[in-house]
A and B are shown apart, each in its own frame.
Chain A
Amino acid sequence: MTLQITQTLDARGLSCPMPIVKTAQAIKTIPSGGLIEVLATDPGSVKDFAAWSRTTGNELVEQTTDSGVFRFVLRRK
């Protein structure tokens, strides 16, 4: 089953804390229950997105890595 992504945010090349800051701003534009996909290259984002998901309650649905690019799928609370 493929996930229905509402929006994709390209945060590749950005370093801490901008991937999180931009995700927080972008997730507000999608409806509750909608999915946002974030692409990042900051290795710290792996731990940071998990922490951000716990703090905010926006569920981290999927997390994959493909040749140095981390992909996170989050569901808006």
Chain B
Amino acid sequence: MTTPTLERPITPVADPIATAVADVDGWPEAASETMAEAPAKTKELVIVDWSGDLDKIWPVLILSSTAAASGVRCRVFVTFWGLLPFVKDEKRIVGENWMQKMLTLMQRPGIDHLKLSKMNFLGMGPWMMGTLRKQYNVASPRELLEAATALGVEFIPCQMTMDMFGLKREDLIDEMGEPAGAATAIEIMTEADASLFI
């Protein structure tokens, strides 16, 4: 019977847990790398602004300016009736043919000429709303639009609506972004943290 001999001398282990952890393949190096590589993603909000009514443009502008003020990237895809409030002030009747001209004759474009979706009463409703707004010191759609663009809210006009309404890029306010289509809307909506259709 022979005495067993050790093939290599035993070296003292400083920290058995650290050694065990180091033995696990790809950890913790890989884990800490992934954590370091993923910076906090900026939150994103996308609003599809479809309605041109005062009572719907208002929340669009309140939410978009507040989002931008909160460090949330906000993009507004402006389509159909939603486009008319974004026509420049000096433009009264826009369009190429009589039908398009008729449209803006019936619904005056621009941010200061909005109608209510209910209780419009030939302009009595919006007038009363404007009086209440001043009484309670609520910001007007114009003030909110200025704040939104100053804070970096991106407004994207819908190319198809522009064509159908006969609107040219120069008819719209300068702060509007480049016109785009439905695929762009879908892309930004699916990538955003929240999206709304107003």
Contact = CB atoms under 8 A, between A and B. Distances in A.
Interface stretch (A2-10, A20-28, A63-71): A20-28
B72 A18 contact: no
B160 interface: no
A21 B69 contact: yes
Contacts of B43: 55
A32 interface: no
A25 B138 CA distance: 18
If over half of A's interface residues share one DSSP class (helix, strand or loop), that class is named, otherwise mixed; here it is: helix
A14 interface: yes
Given A25-B150, A25-B151, A20 B139 contact: no
B137 A13 contact: yes
Interface in B131-147: 136-139, 143-144, 147
B93 interface: no
A53 to B, nearest CB: 10
Given A13-B137, A14-B137, A15-B137, A23 B69 contact: yes
B60 to A, nearest CB: 12
Contacts of B147: 18, 21
A16 interface: yes
- Pick the most buried of A15, A17, A23, A55: most chain B CB atoms within 10 A of its CB: A17
B130 to A, nearest CB: 15
B137 A17 contact: no
B69 A16 contact: no
